[in-house]
A and B are shown apart, each in its own frame.
Chain A
Amino acid sequence: MRPDVSDILSGIQRTLMEEILPDLASDRGRERLTSVLFLLQHCMARWDRVGGFLKEEHDDLSGVLERIAAARAAGEATGPLADILREIESAVATAPGNEAPDAIEELRASVRERRAMLASLLGRIVGADLPDGSALAHCRREAHGYVGRQINRDREWVQVGEIVW
């Protein structure tokens, strides 16, 4: 038998709590180590779910961007909003399928790229006066839908209690 990641993290946690923390003389040192222990606790509870969490967001973003691209709303827009819609249409056309990468770093980069596109769109469309039933209004609903689902995912993911400033 060899220790897995959970065993190692638990061992580090025990060492820090039982061996290092009691020997720290300064308030500041104890404060910092307490923050470290908090972070460690967070990692221990989630390290094995990082990939699943990212993949869920990746799939959601990919679906939203595909539906936005399919709406062909660029023609209804002008200026930077039209530019970002064309960018989304082009990105979806050149990378159809949206298969999520297996490697965490690649998955993270892919999520980051899709988030950036959606962020640009939201920044330009959030307060715009859009006719009901228009392709642009459809795109905004799609973007808002992602926001709501991501809030729920983040709420579940963070769950670290009340962080006080």
Chain B
Amino acid sequence: MSLEASLCAFLAQQIPGAKPEVRNLVQMSGGASRETWSFEAAWTENGEQRNRACVLRRDPRSSLLEAGLTTDRSFEFRTLRALEGLPIPIPRMYWLDAEGKWLERPSLIMELMAGEASPPAFAPGIDAAFRERLSAHFVDILAEIHNLDWKERGLDFLEAPGPGRGAAMAQIGRWREVYNRRRPEAEPIIDAAFGWLEKNAPESDRVTLVHGDFRTGNYLHDEAGNITAMLDWELTHLGDPMEDVGWASMKFWRGGGLVGGLMEEEAFYRLYEARAAVPVDRARVFFYQVLGNVKMAVIAQGAVRAFLDGDGAEPVLALIGFMIPRLCEDIAAQIGIQGDK
């Protein structure tokens, strides 16, 4: 059955009595971790014509992220449903096929949001007012995510880590498991880094919702510099808010030395402190920047593994593997491995 026909059948099951049509189904470019398709859904409900511009996000045959281990479509779907009504621009979640019973693989269907996709980092020379507005909105959204009451929002299902070093150790354990399962071969620097992370795991002073991939490149924006949609919530979890701060400010995501190509690292921290009304613990941020590099290296190794296994025909998976040496070099410098030069 074609994807279009599968979508029609799925929507007919989700909207009883309707005879939905799927139009203009197009696979969107990018999206190495998920297949992304745009389409229009049209149906008649109680005598009224309904139209929705939709995005289908479906697990690919081979993914950068190990389905079921690091991500779960239903977690992402339920989290975003729980965040509706907050000043966090997110797409509305429409329908979920958590098991892939209708759409072959686990999938969710959400609102198609307006806006231009941000690059991984903005290039130098963008308009100053645009940069300032975008920087402020970027940090405002991060502060909102970290300051929301996740218990009140019913996000307990994400499972809070234990106290003290629990948040850091949970993330180390999660990514070590991915590394052990998905690595094509042992990478000495990554093993060394896990040893360093375990020895240096910090205590957290609070547990918040963590986006898990909060950075330039994962949002849409308008011409004025307003973020119209924060996307890619597949790694969301409960943990240490400094994890998002560290991830967003990693060297890997910088452009022209600026966080996301937007602002100086210190300016980012100060803005966050002002908007979130909590101090940025630089030592914890550094720990999460190391963890961030390790995560990226593990993800890149998983991409190479998927490419080698041949269960996905995405050439970009092999290209992502070229990032591993650069990441390992950064990690070695961060954890103080001074080898012969």
Where the two chains meet, the residues of A that have a C-beta atom closer than 8 Å to any C-beta of B are 26-28, 31-32, 35-36, 38-39, 42, 112, 115-116, 118-120, 122-127, 143-152, 154-155, 157-158, 160, 163-165
A146 touches B339 (CB 8 A): yes
| Residue of A38, A127, A143 touching B319 (CB-CB under 8 A) | A38
Question: Which residues of A are found within 8 Å of B314, using beta-carbon distances?
Answer: 32, 35
Question: Which residues of A are found within 8 Å of B83, using beta-carbon distances?
Answer: none
Listed from nearest, the 9 A-B pairs whose CB atoms lie closest are A148-B339, A154-B325, A123-B191, A35-B315, A119-B186, A127-B199, A119-B191, A122-B192, A116-B186
Question: Which residues of A are found within 8 Å of B326, using beta-carbon distances?
Answer: 158, 163
| Residue of B187, B315, B338 touching A32 (CB-CB under 8 A) | B315
Where the two chains meet, the residues of B that have a C-beta atom closer than 8 Å to any C-beta of A are 27-30, 119-120, 185-196, 199-200, 217, 252-253, 314-316, 318-320, 322-326, 328-329, 332, 335, 337-341
In the complex, the number of residue pairs spanning A and B with C-beta atoms less than 8 Å apart equals: 118
Question: Which residues of B are found within 8 Å of A165, using beta-carbon distances?
Answer: 120, 217, 252-253, 320, 323
When chains A and B are docked, how far (Å) is the Cα of A150 from the Cα of B189? 10
13 A–B contact pairs at CB < 8 A? Answer: A35-B316, A38-B315, A38-B319, A115-B188, A119-B191, A122-B191, A126-B192, A147-B188, A158-B325, A163-B319, A164-B120, A165-B120, A165-B323
Question: Which residues of B are found within 8 Å of A151, using beta-carbon distances?
Answer: 189, 325, 328-329, 332, 339
A116 touches B185 (CB 8 A): yes
Given A119-B187, A151-B339, are A32 and B328 neighbors across the interface (CB < 8 Å)?
Answer: no
Residue of A32, A120, A144, A151 most packed against chain B (CB within 10 A): A151
When chains A and B are docked, how far (Å) is the Cα of A165 from the Cα of B213? 13
Q: Name the CB-closest residue of B to A38.
A: B319
B335 to chain A: closest CB distance in Å?
A: 7
B106 to chain A: closest CB distance in Å?
A: 21
Question: Which residues of A are found within 8 Å of B200, using beta-carbon distances?
Answer: 127
Question: Which residues of A are found within 8 Å of B253, using beta-carbon distances?
Answer: 165
